[in-house]
Amino acid sequence: MKNSLAAWRSELHAELTENILPFWLSLCPADGPLTGRVDGEGRAHAGAGLSAVLLARMLWFFSAAYRTVGDRRALDAARRVRLFVSANLIDRRYGGVFWELSHNGLPLNYKKQSYAAGFAIYALCEYALATGDMRAAEEAEALFESLEEHACDTAHDGYVEAFARDWQPLDDMRLSDKDTNTTFSMNTHLHLLEAYAALSKVSPSQRVADALGRLIRIHVDRIFDPATGHLNLFFDRGWRVEGRTVSYGHDIEASWLLDEAAAAARISSPKVAAVVDSLAVAAIEGLQPDGSMIYEYDRATGRTDADRHWWVQAESVVGLFNMYQRTGDERFLCRSRDAWRYISRRLVDRRHGEWLWSIRADGSENRTDDKAGFWKCPYHNGRMCMEIMARIDRMTDD
């Protein structure tokens, strides 16, 4: 077993250091602007805007990569992105972060999306861990306080999706065009959970601990659906469910992120453990014989989206491995490795680097969507490599 895991770790190390990291370093040159978009054929688009999601996830990735493999180029890139984020993305007047910047750092979209602030917190915490720069932790704390002051709706027990620049209400709070326009969403709460868990490690306080505990409870009591074992995705202000779509990728991602958050919060709860296990088991409904996981299923219409998105495959590797560690059941380990084999065989772009956005349901490559862009970032795939490497290291050291 140890030899098998060591060989897999070597594969993931190679994927991280020889494919994913070099691709993203090329978009963050020492003597030029950040690249905001590379299309599916590998063509860079000069002058493309820079989303808050892209910037935060790049900052997180370079910081984590430096912590994991010690590559000084990753540290240099992390410093460049951190300076850009601090100088341009954070709104020094009202707090929070802008939704999108121009390539030269001017705000293009002033909307305050709670999701984006969560990723900025997550990234700044990782940078603080990588460099020891506690000013980054202080910036993360300030973003946390902005969210707690403006986005945390204590009357309705949730975090509101979005606001205008000055934190006034918005009519359209959607994270993307494909989302439902609702007050609360699973996706925003999931990534605030992740961000607050990271903040609790670099800036422990009772206030952060209480907020993290609240988010764990919201997931268990409001977002998780005990009737199906899945997460519900969208909710009105009274937490009434809107829509019946199952997102297999979010189910498997939430299973391990909730597990990690509970550990960070030092919460040992049979109820939380049961939800973690239920989500992972429910997500297996989306697994296919080739090791891949399909995107989503609409229980209201019966429609299935069987595309294999890059991030869903990456999260399935980690979530299934986490279940192997939780249960000792080697079937989960086999499924995790099968998911990686599918990624290596179909999604890794051997011509242009990085991963494709997806493989379509008919088996064809999707080169219409970006290789890097507003949503396509090194977070899911880079994190998968580093997470599994670290888990294997801990297992083989025991």
Helix axes 52-69, 114-131, angle to 10 degrees: 20
Taking only the tens place, the pLDDT of each residue in 8-66 is 999 999 999 999 999 999 999 999 899 999 999 999 999 999 999 999 999 999 999 99
Name the DSSP class of 38: B
What are the beta bridge partners of residue 162? 113
Taking only the tens place, the pLDDT of each residue in 301-327 is 999 999 999 999 999 999 999 999 999
Report CA Rg, the chain. Answer: 20
Contact (CB, 8 A) for 250 and 201: no
CA atoms of 104 and 102, how far apart (whole Å): 5
- The CATH number of residue 330's host domain is 1.50.10.10
What's residue 398's pLDDT? Answer: 66
Enclosing domain of residue 247? 2-397
What average pLDDT does the segment 101-105 reach? 96
Report the half-sphere exposure of 336 (CA within 13 A, side-chain side): 28
Q: Using 50, 70 and 90 to split pLDDT, how confident is the model at 2?
A: low
Spell out the residues 6+ positions from residue 243 whose beta carbon is closer than 8 angstroms to its own: 180, 232, 233, 234, 298, 300
CA atoms of 112 and 357, how far apart (whole Å): 26
Contact (CB, 8 A) for 321 and 335: no
- Left if phi > 0, otherwise alpha if psi is -120 to 50, otherwise beta: which for 84? alpha
CA atoms of 123 and 167, how far apart (whole Å): 22
Considering its fold, how many domains does the chain have in total? 1
